Amino acid sequence: MPYGAAGLLTWIQEPLMQSSTRPSDRQMAIFVSVAVGIVVAVVTTATFWWVYELSLGGELRASAAAASIPWSPSDGIQAITDLGPNTPTDGREPWLGLEAWTTGVQAGQSWVEEFPNTVNVQVLVGMSSAQIWTYMQQYVSGGLGVGCQYCHNVNNFASDEIPQKIAARNMLRLVNDVNAEFIVDLPNWRGNYVQCATCHNNQPVNLEAFGEQFVKSVPPIALQVNPLDENGAPILDPAQKPEEIRGLVPLKEAIIYYIYNYQVWLPYDVADSESGRGSLALTYEGGRSQEQVTINQNVMNYQSWSLGVGCTYCHNSRDFTAYELNPASTISNAFYGYNKLKAQQMLLLTTWLQDNWLDYGALPKDTIPSLIEGGATEWSYQLIEGQYYNLPACYTCHQSYNNADNVAIPPAAINQAAIPEGDAGVVVLPPQLRGGQ
């Protein structure tokens, strides 16, 4: 034991200093808890990331890469020339294979030389034969993945003897009308139009309207469908419902019903936070049943799978009912609102397509072709006036592609400004197909 006051002070301080540097049991417990929490968070995050990578990561990256590459007519032309010749059974000449492509091109060039002024042109009026030939060869033939013989008697391009030519002519009218009625008026429109390839993607028939992932995700359950009337009130009386949704309806059929029978009962008004409500709305006095919530969720899933986006592409996760287009709101909130209004516009488009499909000369089928026969899934065929028609929907154009900039534009949409029209007569999208713009 040291002697003197200084020694005594030292003797007292040493154990106190030693005890102050050793953590207490409480401090140790807190330290261990935090450490364990960090380890659990890291392991959990890594596990979720691993599951995401196994299920969607690679697919979404591939989708973004594919969406970043603009569609090119050469893709469709190559698809034609790389195939072997087909054997038509309806009197038409083969339209697939290098030989058929070469025959059609040579016949078309001869026709243009003989008839520089158009003959029997009803949609692309005002264009020369050479301009029409260039557009048809690249953007129609290439867009559908078929040679000239698919629609034309190549010895007389003016003839209307082949039904597919009449259908194609009406499809050109459809392109113009879709652009006019729905596309050019989209909120925050970016100058992208629909063209033949937007739906067809180098495939002339049997277009897929519901992707494989979504089809597999729909449970096989039946439920009541209580659509909203024009005032936003649910229709509960079966006698007041459309015939196809009376009684119990498979969830699959309920989804299809809303895709092709969408209505807006309360149009969007920037000054009214409760506006913009449509057929799928879940907010009204009294609320909706669980069955209607299930239908709503699966329609939303369909849109999500089709566009390759999550819920927050259109919705504010803190307020799913909001549009948030107030000029004072943030840029991200405006982004939500624009995309939500676009989605609503597109649901009105799919509804319009079913209502007007017969006016555009689409060729019917007596039965739904099987996948083995080269058909799309049965979801993609709708019964209209006793016959089946291959009807497009969201997936048909969007194909789950969403590019790296999180802009869900169909990969085969076309922007006229991308290639200016010059003295060479390059026509990317004729004015006659741009909706009058």
pLDDT band at residue 9, thresholds of 50, 70 and 90? very low
Q: Give pLDDT, residue 329.
A: 52
CATH code for 73-196+418-433?
1.10.468
Q: How far apart are CA 267 and CA 191, in angstroms?
A: 24
pTM of the prediction?
A: 0.82
Q: Tokens in use for 401?
A: 């592609």
Q: Tokens in use for 171?
A: 């499809």
Q: Name the residue with tokens 């380890």.
A: 39
Name the residue type at position 271: A
Q: How far apart are CA 332 and CA 319, in angstroms?
A: 13
Residues 6+ apart with CB under 8 A from 432: 123, 124, 125, 126, 127, 176
Q: Read off the pLDDT of each residue in 143-149 and give the average, rounded to a whole number.
A: 95
Q: How far apart are CA 115 and CA 126, in angstroms?
A: 14
| Least confident interval from 50-64, 251-265, 322-336, 361-375 | 322-336
Q: What is the pLDDT of residues 265-317, one digit of tens each?
A: 999 887 787 788 999 998 666 688 999 999 999 999 999 999 988 888 888 88
Q: What is the pLDDT of residues 15-39, one digit of tens each?
A: 545 555 677 878 788 888 888 889 9
Q: Specify the DSSP element, H or E, that contains 171.
A: helix 163-178
Q: How far apart are CA 123 and CA 126, in angstroms?
A: 9
